[in-house]
Chain A
Amino acid sequence: MGEIIEFTVNGLKRRIEVEPNELLINVIRGKLGLTGTKYGCGIGECGSCTVLIDGEPALSCLTLAIEVDGREIVTIEGIAENELNHIQEAFLDQGAVQCGFCTPGMIIMAKYLLNKKRNPTEKEIKEHIKGNLCRCTGYINIIKAIKEAAEKMQNSNVKAISKEL
Chain B
Amino acid sequence: MYINRVNTKILPVEFKYFAPKTVSEAASILNRYGEEVRILAGGTDLLVKVKQRLIEPKYILNVKGIEELRFIEDRSGEIGVGAATKLSELVGSEIIKEKLPVLHEAAEAVGSVQIRNMGTIGGNLCNASPASDLAPPLLVLNTSVKAYSSSGERVIPLEKFFLGPGETVLKPDELLVEIKIPCPPEGTGMSFLKVARTSMDLAKANVAVAIKLDGNTVKLCRIAMGSVAPTPIRLFQTEKILLGSEFTDGKIERAVQTASEEIKPITDIRSTAEYRREVSKVLVRRALKKAYERVKEGEING
Contact = CB atoms under 8 A, between A and B. Distances in A.
Interface of A: 3, 19-23, 25-26, 29-30, 39, 42-45, 47, 50, 56-59, 61-64, 66-67, 109, 112, 127-128, 130-132
Contacts of A131: 111-115, 200
Residue among A43, A109, A127 with the highest chain B CB neighbour number at 10 A: A43
Contacts of A67: 19, 62, 64
A7 to B, nearest CB: 14
B248 interface: no
15 contacts: A21-B10, A23-B47, A25-B9, A42-B51, A43-B51, A45-B200, A57-B117, A61-B9, A62-B118, A64-B47, A67-B62, A130-B200, A131-B112, A131-B114, A131-B200
Interface of B: 7-17, 19, 40, 43-44, 47-48, 51, 60, 62, 64, 88, 111-115, 117-118, 199-200
A47 B118 contact: no
B17 to A, nearest CB: 4
A113 to B, nearest CB: 8
Contacts of B11: 21-23
A15 B40 CA distance: 24
Nearest to B65: A67
Contact of A21 (B15, B43, B112): B15
A51 to B, nearest CB: 10
A29 B62 CA distance: 24
B8 A42 contact: yes
Contact of B118 (A22, A59, A112, A127): A59
Given A20-B60, A67-B19, A131-B111, A26 B10 contact: yes
A22 B10 contact: yes
Contacts of B47: 23, 62, 64
Given A21-B14, A62-B47, A63-B43, A47 B9 contact: no
Given A67-B62, A67-B64, A47 B13 contact: no
Given A20-B14, A21-B13, A57-B113, A130 B118 contact: no
A26 B15 contact: no
Contact of A19 (B10, B48, B115): B10
Contacts of B13: 21
A3 B19 CA distance: 13
Interface centre among A20, A39, A45, A112 (most CB of B within 10 A): A20
Contacts of A29: 9
A128 B48 contact: no
B9 A56 contact: no
Given A42-B9, A44-B48, 16 more contacts: A20-B17, A21-B11, A21-B12, A22-B11, A26-B9, A26-B10, A43-B48, A57-B117, A58-B114, A63-B118, A64-B40, A64-B62, A66-B17, A109-B113, A131-B113, A132-B112
Which of B9, B12, B19 has the most A CB atoms < 10 Å from its CB? B9
B146 to A, nearest CB: 25
Contacts of A30: 9
